[in-house]
Amino acid sequence: MVRAEALKGHLEGLLLAALEAEAQPVHGWALMARLRESSGGELDLEGGTVYPVLRRLEESGLIASEWTQATGRRRRVYSLTPKGRRALADERTAWSRFVAVVGDVLSVTPTPEPGTGTS
């Protein structure tokens, strides 16, 4: 299971992508469930991790929220804004570049020092 600390700097993009995948506004618990399902259970985040990020995304205009009534309970639902869609596209581009660069570095095979190689 991926720890929340390992997601720093990426959780915003993950939540934007989860919102994009939904066809309608969705509440925070459903977003956590989508991340859990789409990651095969590796991203099992708690509300204390997710809701502060949702607030930050809303404050920056990347998502919008509204209160709805469902099964007799009020709950806040979130949706992606046009600004959020652009930010998600930028995040995907940056992530692809990051993965490529790190992959290049990690795939480099060290060159044996002279006299230490096998023949």
Tokens 């480099």 found at: 108
Task: Determine the pLDDT at residue 27.
Answer: 93
- The most distant pair of C-alpha atoms in the chain lies apart, rounded to whole Å, by 76
Task: Determine the pLDDT at residue 111.
Answer: 81
- pLDDT tens figures, 31-86: 999 999 999 999 898 899 899 999 999 999 999 999 998 788 899 999 999 999 99
Phi first, then psi: what are they for 61, rounded to 5°?
A: 80, 10
Mean pLDDT lowest among 1-10, 14-23, 82-91, 92-101: 1-10
Q: Where are the domains of the chain?
A: 11-98
Task: Determine the pLDDT at residue 22.
Answer: 86
pLDDT over 60 (residue 119): no
Cβ contacts of 18 within 8 Å, gap of 6 or more = 31, 34, 35, 38
Q: In DSSP terms, which residues pair with 76 in a beta bridge?
A: 67
Q: In the predicted model, what is the mean pLDDT of the chain?
A: 89
pTM: 0.82
Residue 14 exposed, middle or buried by CB count within 10 Å (0-12, 13-18, 19+): buried
Would you list the DSSP string of 4-63?
GGGGTTTHHHHHHHHHHH-SS-EEHHHHHHHHHHHTTTS----HHHHHHHHHHHHHTTSE
Domain 11-98 has CATH 3.40.50.10860: no
